[in-house]
Amino acid sequence: MDRIGIFGANGRMGQALIDACALSKQAQLTAAFVRAASPLAATPIHHLNKQAPLDLSFACESSLQACSADVLIDFTLPEGMRTHLAKAVEFKLPMVIGTTGLSHDDKLLLQQAAQHIPIVFSRNYSVGVNLLLNLVQVAASKLADELDIEIFEAHHRHKIDAPSGTALMIGEAIAAAKGWDHDNVARYDRSQSHEAKSQQEIGYSVLRAGDIVGEHTAYFATMGERLEITHKASSRLTFAQGAVRAAQWLRNKPEGLYDMQDVLGLKQ
């Protein structure tokens, strides 16, 4: 059994991760951390799998040293991720990270930490999106140069970062296939632009509404035809089960920075 510790255990993804551990035959949830000030600390956890009740309470993050986890999972906010990453390095524990909205400096922190512990970082843990990354690279490299490339994403009303981590990951994959520098070709806002778009750009658009779990479409449009490659997630359990799979894959790996394509064997 792989013993799993979860940060942000009371969040939307935290709850889904608790359910994913309960449904797994190989992973056992041994620590479900909440912030030090959380009123949930020391209260019992409820989860989907009612047939096998979970005999565990939420724990305060500061009790990490005393917990018995083999791998830690973080789906929180960038500030939380930074704190949790430092703890994982201190206690030499492998870590799976799904938090999005990370800055350039945060990504450098990940690289530094990966010199000491093994880390899987992915902005999307679903199988479908990781396959889509390969498909958009084929489309970007095989279709004509006279191509308009746009990425649309839709998420629930609570999501803070925009564009989503997945949308940026798709854009970065397309830019790599085209040999472009993503930061130079990404267009997030056309409201101040007074000219027609160039074909050497990747446009992003964002929708936030209701309870949408996560939808992404890459558009490849030219005169007379348009290819759309879409992924729709309908349950957070998809991401959570992917993260638990990554945690199991990560155990006993050497230090280094891995992603979900490594876990799934999809690297081209």
Ligand X SMILES: NC(=O)C1=CN([C@@H]2O[C@H](COP(=O)(O)OP(=O)(O)OC[C@H]3O[C@@H](n4cnc5c(N)ncnc54)[C@H](OP(=O)(O)O)[C@@H]3O)[C@@H](O)[C@H]2O)C=CC1
Q: Which residues fall in the annotated binding site? A: 8-13, 98-100, 122-125, 156, 165-166
Q: In the block, which residue shows the tokens 């059994």? A: 1
For residue 165, the minimal CB distance to ligand LZUJQKHR (Å) is 4
Annotated active-site residue 159? The verdict is yes
Task: Say whether the peptide bond before residue 44 is cis (omega within 30 degrees of 0).
Answer: no
Interface with ligand LZUJQKHR (CB under 6 A), residue total: 9
* 163 binding ligand X? (CB under 6 A): no
CB–CB of 28/56 below 8 Å? no
For residue 123, the minimal CB distance to ligand LZUJQKHR (Å) is 5
* 164 binding ligand LZUJQKHR? (CB under 6 A): yes
In this structure, which amino acid lies at residue 79?
Answer: E
Q: Residues within the annotated binding site for NAD(+)?
A: 8-13, 98-100, 122-125
* 124 binding ligand X? (CB under 6 A): yes
Nearer to ligand LZUJQKHR, 155 or 245 (CB): 155
Interatomic CA distance for residues 199 and 26, integer angstroms: 48
Q: How far is CA 36 from the centre of its chain?
A: 24
For residue 214, the minimal CB distance to ligand LZUJQKHR (Å) is 3
Question: Would you give the binding string for ligand X spanning residues 104-123, x where CB under 6 A is met?
Answer: ------------------xx
Q: Which does 248 bind (CB under 5 to 8 A by kind): ligand X, ligand LZUJQKHR, none?
A: none
Question: Out of 87, 155, 216, 231, which one is annotated catalytic?
Answer: 155
Interatomic CA distance for residues 85 and 110, integer angstroms: 8
Q: Which two tokens stand for residue 232?
A: 């729709």
Residue nearest ligand LZUJQKHR, CB atom distance? 214
> H/E element holding 148?
strand 148-155
Tell me how far CA of residue 48 lies from CA of 39, 54, 222, in angstroms: 22, 10, 47
Nearer to ligand LZUJQKHR, 47 or 123 (CB): 123
Kind of pairing, strands 27-34 and 2-7? parallel
Interatomic CA distance for residues 123 and 137, integer angstroms: 17
Which of the residues are catalytic? 155, 159
